[in-house]
Structure 1
Amino acid sequence: MTPVTTFLQRGDRVLFQGDSITDWGRDRDDPMSLGHGWVAIAAALAGARRPELGLEFLNRGVGGDTAAMVRDRWERDALELRPTVISLLVGINDTWRRYDAGTATSTDEYEEHYRALLDPARERLAARFVLVEPFLLPLTPDQPAWREDLDPRIAVVRRLATEYDALLLRADDLFAEAAEAAGAEHWTFDGVHLSVAGNGLLAEAWLDAVGIPA
């Protein structure tokens, strides 16, 4: 039987990067720890469904990180690890900090930081990218107003995915549709961080994007 073609290749080292949604409980003392969120689910199912690919998975998400903070640790937590594939989800904290701390990051600044992550990974590693757009499932009365700040960032990620020939995971659309079906509370407990079901949904969507569906 002819093997199913996937975005991933035999022996790929896949690095998940971003903020707390990716971090989700990983053990900082264990470099192989994947946490217990969507990253761990995606890695487990990818290994179970396509064992012949011999994939290696790493998680270096850090809770609370903005795009600038990911950039500050990019050399150590990305480039030095020499991944062949980088999955990146960052941006919701750039929006959140505007509303809870009054610390604004413009869309142009966000794009500059994002490019500073992609450019060296492409030039030095020839890495392939999976860009997961930031998302929001409004639960509190103030959160719908965050759209003014978040939606332009989502547009940046979508445009960069095309420019850098990356896979795009439209996570905001994914969760908007899911919220219509089951309510936002089923997928998140604060509008940003995911429930068990939300982690499962994002993991399944990531696997579908890279060509390892159920």
Structure 2
Amino acid sequence: MKTNRRSFITKSIVGAALLTNANLFSAQAESMVSLKKSKKISINQNDIILFQGDSITDNGRDRNNKNVNDNGALGSGYVNLAAANLLEKYADKNLKIYNRGISGNRVPDLQNRWQQDTLDLQPTILSILIGVNDFWRTKDSGATNTPEQFKKQYQDLLQQTLSKLPQVKLIIGEPFGVKNVKHVTDDWYPDFLAYQNACVEISKEFDAALISYQSIFDQAQLKASGSYWTTDGVHTSLAGASLMAKGWLDVIK
């Protein structure tokens, strides 16, 4: 584990500097190639893999079902598809895979349930996809959480995680929006880019693998329209879920 990552466990985090428009658009360009640059995560014997996030991760899972490696507990989205691949490919590794995504969640919601739904499970690999609701609620519900506040909350969450689970391997999913499909309109931009950029920066600060979902969906639209991959610009179709699962599995070496 890198020295600069260990130092995050003990040092306090200062407020982030204000982002410029140039930073935002350069981050968007960087996202187009970050899949190639992203660090890779190895699968080891007895790994505990936990998926955390909002409705995209939740995807209809039975929240009363706490079993590992269970269809009902994993939902019907990208988590289930990725888990199926992992369990087949690494049948000899005794993997335990959980889904604890909850629809509508923002980072503060994760903070409120982090002990029970993450730390108590003691994952060795932790995948987080969060951020679209942190932005979206500022548009449809009058929330006032800024990109800077979002980034600080996310940093605090990961600092807490590393203080309890210093060896955990982190995977950060970039929040995405497929433009001109129902909810994702021109009004989202450029503001949404700041939340995406925060996730890119956080992945570097915490030595996490980054899944550039925005780039993945942008490239997919060269084959089919956005409405083919998502139902509303955010939530995936079956094809979109498969696309996300493949993106997730690409960071596994």
TM-score by length of 2: 0.78
Structure 1: 4+ residue segments shifted above 4 A: none
Structure 2: gaps of 5 or more residues = 1-39, 68-72
CA contact (8 A) 2:178 2:184 kept: no
CA contact (8 A) 2:54 2:104 kept: yes
1:28 equivalenced with 2:69 (yes/no): no
CA offset at residue 181 of structure 1? 2.1
Q: Secondary structure at the match of 1:160?
A: helix
| Cα distance in 2, alignment partners of residues 38 and 107 from structure 1 | 26
Distance 1:71 1:6, change over 3 A: closer
**For each residue in 1:85-139, what CA deviation from the matched residue of structure 2 results, as whole angstroms up to 9, or x when unmatched?**
1100000001111111111310111011111221122121121100001000021
| Cα distance in 2, alignment partners of residues 141 and 114 from structure 1 | 25
1:82-93 equivalences in 2 (<5 Å): 82-93=122-133
> What amino acid is aligned across from residue 228 of structure 2 in structure 1?
H
Q: Secondary structure at the match of 1:193?
A: coil
Q: Secondary structure at the match of 1:140?
A: coil
**For each residue in 1:146-187, what CA deviation from the matched residue of structure 2 results, as whole angstroms up to 9, or x when unmatched?**
132221111111111111111000011111111232110110
**For each residue in 1:28-47, what CA deviation from the matched residue of structure 2 results, as whole angstroms up to 9, or x when unmatched?**
11112111111011001111
| Cα distance in 2, alignment partners of residues 143 and 72 from structure 1 | 31
Q: Secondary structure at the match of 2:126?
A: strand
Q: Provide the residue aligned with 2:111 in structure 1.
A: 71
Q: Provide the residue aligned with 1:130 in structure 2.
A: 171
Give the share of equivalent positions with the same residue, in percent. 35
CA offset at residue 76 of structure 1? 1.3
Distance 1:48 1:103, change over 3 A: same
CA contact (8 A) 1:6 1:210 kept: yes
> What amino acid is aligned across from residue 99 of structure 2 in structure 1?
N
Query: Which of 152, 172, 182 is equivalent to 1:112?
Result: 152
CA contact (8 A) 1:122 1:128 kept: no
CA contact (8 A) 1:87 1:129 kept: yes
Q: Secondary structure at the match of 1:182?
A: coil
Query: Which of 198, 205, 211 is equivalent to 2:247?
Result: 205
**For each residue in 1:172-211, what CA deviation from the matched residue of structure 2 results, as whole angstroms up to 9, or x when unmatched?**
1111111232110110010000000000110011011112
Q: Provide the residue aligned with 1:181 in structure 2.
A: 223
TM-score by length of 1: 0.92
Q: What is the RMSD computed on CA atoms of the aligned residues? A: 1.5
CA contact (8 A) 1:18 1:89 kept: yes
Q: Secondary structure at the match of 1:209?
A: coil
Say which structure, 1 or 2, has more relative contact order (CA 8 Å, 6+ apart). Answer: 2
| Cα distance in 1, alignment partners of residues 239 and 157 from structure 2 | 30
Distance 1:6 1:70, change over 3 A: closer
Structure 1: gaps of 5 or more residues = none
1:156 equivalenced with 2:198 (yes/no): yes
**For each residue in 1:59-85, what CA deviation from the matched residue of structure 2 results, as whole angstroms up to 9, or x when unmatched?**
110000111111111111111111111
